[in-house]
Amino acid sequence: MTVLVQRLLTHLATGVLRALKWFVHEFLLLTLRPAAGSRLANLCRIIGCFVIVASLRAELRDGLLPNITAAVIQLGAACLTAILFGNAAKELAFDLAARFTVWWGRAFVRSGLTMGGQTFWEVQFRDGTWIRCERESMQAVYEWTEPDGRCKRLEVRSIA
């Protein structure tokens, strides 16, 4: 039983650390590697932050519940809801920014971090094609579209 509890706590701690790393990177403008077009991407992240703060303010406007357990649950639910709304707003802002940038005749570049901890970058081009790369410690996955609409995928693994 103790081994099971220890594994559960280890997985829980790993998940919480990954979620915190994702949140810090995706919302607090702490980019892993600045890329071209990062100003527009940072603006999208600021929009997400604004929505998180506004949502938290609205949800906690009347204060926390008097019971400590209920207050912790209320605060946790408010934070999760605010992050959900903020992430949706950020992704919508990214979509609109990409559409505008591509319409303007330029490629839209975005980099980020997945919830699983992989770094990624993607580029959307004016002709409707795109390329995306997700990297983990020993492998990279490249996906892209051809001008005729076919999708391609290449997985590269490092031999250590």
* 53 vs 90: CA distance, rounded Å: 13
Whole-number Å distance between alpha carbons of 154 and 102: 25
Helix (H) or strand (E) holding 43: helix 38-59
Number of residues that this document lists for the chain: 160
81 pLDDT above the threshold of 90: yes
- In tens, the pLDDT along 40-63 reads 888 898 899 999 999 999 999 988
What confidence tens digit (pLDDT) does each residue in 10-42 have?
877 887 777 777 777 777 765 555 554 578 888
Give me the residue spans of the domains in the chain: 2-157
Sheet strands side by side (includes 119-124):
108-113, 119-124, 130-135, 139-145, 151-157
Name the pairing type of β-strands 119-124 and 108-113.
antiparallel
The H or E element containing residue 153 is: strand 151-157
Residues 140-154 pLDDT 10s: 999 999 988 899 999
Per-residue pLDDT reduced to its tens digit, 108-136: 988 888 877 788 889 999 888 999 999 88
Q: Strands 139-145, 108-113: parallel, antiparallel or unpaired by DSSP? A: unpaired
What distances in angstroms separate CA 44 from CA 65, 74, 84, 90, 156, one per listed residue?
Answer: 33, 28, 15, 5, 31
The confidence score (pLDDT) of residue 34 equals: 52
Sign of the four-CA dihedral 113, 19, 91, 42: negative
Angstrom distance (rounded) from CA 62 to CA 82: 16
Report residue 157's pLDDT band, with 50, 70 and 90 as the boundaries: confident
Looking up tokens 């995928």 gives 153
Q: What's the confidence (pLDDT) of residue 36? A: 47
Q: Is the pLDDT of residue 138 over 50?
A: yes
Q: Judge whether residue 67 has pLDDT over 80.
A: yes
Torsion (CA) 21, 26, 31, 34 in degrees, nearest 10: 150
